[in-house]
Amino acid sequence: MTGSGSPRVIAIDGPAGSGKSTVARAVADRLGLQYLDTGAMYRGVAHAVLREGIDPTDAVMVSEVARNVTLDVTRSHCMVDGEDASAAIRGPEVTGAVSAVAANPEVRGEMVARQRAWVVERGGGVMEGRDIGSVVFPDAELKVYLTASPEVRARRRAAEAPGVDVDSVAADIRRRDEADSSRAASPLVTADGARVLDTSDLTVDGVVDAIVGMLR
Ligand code: DC
């Protein structure tokens, strides 16, 4: 959104392992804005779904969970109905279920409404996800689409999860890319007007400099 008085929104989208989270946090710090990881919201819903023993592909039950769940996603934590689920939402069960949950149009409608409300309450922010520039804030002041080669993305994700081998991370990334890009509801796309940045050969600081430079 541009113009005086409008919330200042920076949208950072891209596939898993493109560097979104690290970069979006650093951009928020540089600009003195708040940061929201919208993927953690979808993961929080998936966690609540699994906790209640619901099949993640049961659209009706999953939508009901999404409408009723209390999510509190901060920079470092994800609280789901008052329970600290920060570690659980990064685990293999949630990672395996989240694509099905995120493909549910009613879940998306609910999360998008909460994301817009988050921005209004804070007067702006840096938001990362898959559909921020395309659906949630198409009029964002800046829309960035981060990419990186599949090998680099798998290596980054494996480095975050010691003990997990790169090949299985690469297979998981391929599966989620396919699911996120081919779903009917808000698939992962490069938003109109988004600046595409390949982070494969850039340092975090290099990516942050490039993004902040786009604002000038
Ligand atoms: O960024 P992540 O890997 O934590 O995202 C988890 C899942 O949620 C992933 O399958 C994509 C989905 N997601 C989405 O559909 N829309 C968003 N705005 C953010 C994440």
Distances (CA, A) of 53 to 14, 35, 48, 66: 30, 31, 9, 14
Atom 1 of ligand 1 has which residue's CA nearest to it?
A: 39
133 touches ligand 1 (CB under 6 Å):
no
Ligand 1 center from residue 4 Cα (angstroms): 31
- What is the residue-level pLDDT of the chain in tens, covering all 216 positions? 444 567 899 999 999 888 899 999 999 999 999 999 999 999 999 999 999 999 999 999 999 999 999 999 999 999 999 999 999 999 999 999 999 999 999 999 999 999 999 999 999 999 999 999 999 999 999 999 999 988 899 888 888 777 888 888 888 888 888 888 888 888 888 999 999 999 999 999 999 999 999 997
pLDDT value for 68: 98
130 touches ligand 1 (CB under 6 Å):
yes
Bridge-based pairing of strands 78-80 and 71-73 is antiparallel
CATH class, range 8-214 = alpha beta
Q: Strands, E, within the chain: which ranges?
A: 8-13, 35-37, 71-73, 78-80, 83-84, 124-129, 142-147, 195-198
pLDDT value for 5: 61
98 touches ligand 1 (CB under 6 Å):
yes
110 touches ligand 1 (CB under 6 Å):
no
Q: pTM (2 decimals)? A: 0.92
Please state, as a whole number, how many other Cβ atoms lie within 10 Å of the Cβ of residue 190: 15
pLDDT value for 172: 84
Domain ranges in the chain are 8-214
**What's the token pair of residue 57?**
């592909």
- The amino acid that residue 183 corresponds to is R
pLDDT value for 2: 45
pLDDT value for 1: 46
152-157: long-range contacts, CB 8 A cutoff, minimum separation 24: 152/17, 152/199, 152/200, 153/15, 153/16, 153/17, 153/18, 154/17, 156/17, 156/19, 157/16, 157/17
